[in-house]
């Protein structure tokens, strides 16, 4: 009977956690659905915003987006709305995730984890902004520079709406996710998987890795690759500096604790 009672007691908290998880998932899906409906209503405006770097890269009055399938633009607007809805609803989804995980953490763990949760959307937005305002105009001007003439035949860029949206999302996601490098490194360092000293020793390999990542996740033009590789390496060095500051702060706390105990 005692064993059965223990099993029932362990199953009860598990069921409570599952019910809470279901509720928070439903809230997240509901917020995403509402945001999707609003963003789909403004899909034309959002698409116009995303198309502005390409329009400015074209000579005035000559740029255009085409579509070769009747349903292509409809699905483009669906993707635009879903992409924008996830960006808009991410703070609510992250808050629901934090509310589910936080009760199981100690106060010190909450204090250590919360800055990473706050830094994630900030760094992603910084990377996406760099892609939109700097990288995309530079890359599009580079690509459009290949227009011209061959054997008397005009070579003209006629990008389709679907291909252009895929390229824009590739830029934004690549730069946004890449800018989360400090969050990843600091979490690994907090978990004891890596240390600042070990990361500093492999700096030359990190440089090669950063260049390789920039070459893979960006379109094949050297400008956008360099624009991503440079900030990525700076973020890596910034992560090492932040680790050093945190290490010194922790050493200062540890050295002051015995003094406080002795004086007491």
Q: How many domains does the chain have?
A: 1
* Residue 246 confidence class, pLDDT cut points 50, 70, 90: confident
Name the residue among 137, 146, 97 with its Cα closest to residue 117. 97
The continuous run of DSSP H or E covering 37 comes out as helix 2-41
Kindly state whether residue 153 falls inside one of the protein's structural domains. Answer: no
Name the residue among 76, 74, 93 with its Cα closest to residue 35. 93
Kindly state whether residue 257 falls inside one of the protein's structural domains. Answer: no
Tell me the pLDDT tens digit for each residue of 60-69: 778 888 988 8
The continuous run of DSSP H or E covering 153 comes out as strand 153-155
Tell me the pLDDT tens digit for each residue of 133-169: 988 888 888 888 888 888 888 888 888 999 999 889 8
d(CA 126, CA 167): 19
Kindly state whether residue 174 falls inside one of the protein's structural domains. Answer: yes
31 vs 2, which has greater pLDDT?
A: 31
Residue 215, SS3 per DSSP: helix
Kindly state whether residue 80 falls inside one of the protein's structural domains. Answer: yes
d(CA 92, CA 27): 9
Q: In which domain, by residue range, is 234 found?
A: 1-145+158-251
Query: Which pLDDT value is given to residue 4?
Result: 43
d(CA 135, CA 216): 15
d(CA 84, CA 35): 8
Tell me the pLDDT tens digit for each residue of 166-217: 889 888 988 888 888 888 888 888 777 888 888 888 888 888 888 888 888 7
Kindly state whether residue 151 falls inside one of the protein's structural domains. Answer: no
Kindly state whether residue 178 falls inside one of the protein's structural domains. Answer: yes
Tell me the pLDDT tens digit for each residue of 81-96: 999 999 889 888 888 8
Kindly state whether residue 242 falls inside one of the protein's structural domains. Answer: yes
Q: pTM (2 decimals)?
A: 0.78
Kindly state whether residue 203 falls inside one of the protein's structural domains. Answer: yes
């Amino acid at each position: 009977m005692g064993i059965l009672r223990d099993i029932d007691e362990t199953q009860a908290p598990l069921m409570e956690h599952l019910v809470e998880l279901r509720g928070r998932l439903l809230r997240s899906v509901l917020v995403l659905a509402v945001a999707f409906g609003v963003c789909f209503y403004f899909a034309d405006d959002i698409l116009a915003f995303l198309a502005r770097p390409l329009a400015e890269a074209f000579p005035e009055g000559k740029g255009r987006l085409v579509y070769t399938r009747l349903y292509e633009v409809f699905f483009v607007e669906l993707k635009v709305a879903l992409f924008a809805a996830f960006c808009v609803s991410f703070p609510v989804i992250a808050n629901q995730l934090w509310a589910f995980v936080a009760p199981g953490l100690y106060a010190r763990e909450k204090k250590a984890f919360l800055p990473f949760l706050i830094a994630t959307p900030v760094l992603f937005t910084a990377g996406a902004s760099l892609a939109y305002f700097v990288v995309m105009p530079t890359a599009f001007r580079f690509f459009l520079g290949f227009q011209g003439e061959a054997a008397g035949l005009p070579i003209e860029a006629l990008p389709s709406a679907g291909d252009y949206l895929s390229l824009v999302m590739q830029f934004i996601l690549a730069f946004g996710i890449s800018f989360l490098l400090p969050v990843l490194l600091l979490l690994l360092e907090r978990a004891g998987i890596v240390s600042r000293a070990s990361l500093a020793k492999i700096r030359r390999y990190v440089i090669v890795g950063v260049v390789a990542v920039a070459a893979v996740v960006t379109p094949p033009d050297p400008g956008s690759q360099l624009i991503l590789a440079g900030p990525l390496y700076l973020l890596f060095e910034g992560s090492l500096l932040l680790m050093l500051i945190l290490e010194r702060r922790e050493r200062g706390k540890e050295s002051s604790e015995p003094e406080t105990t002795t004086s007491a």
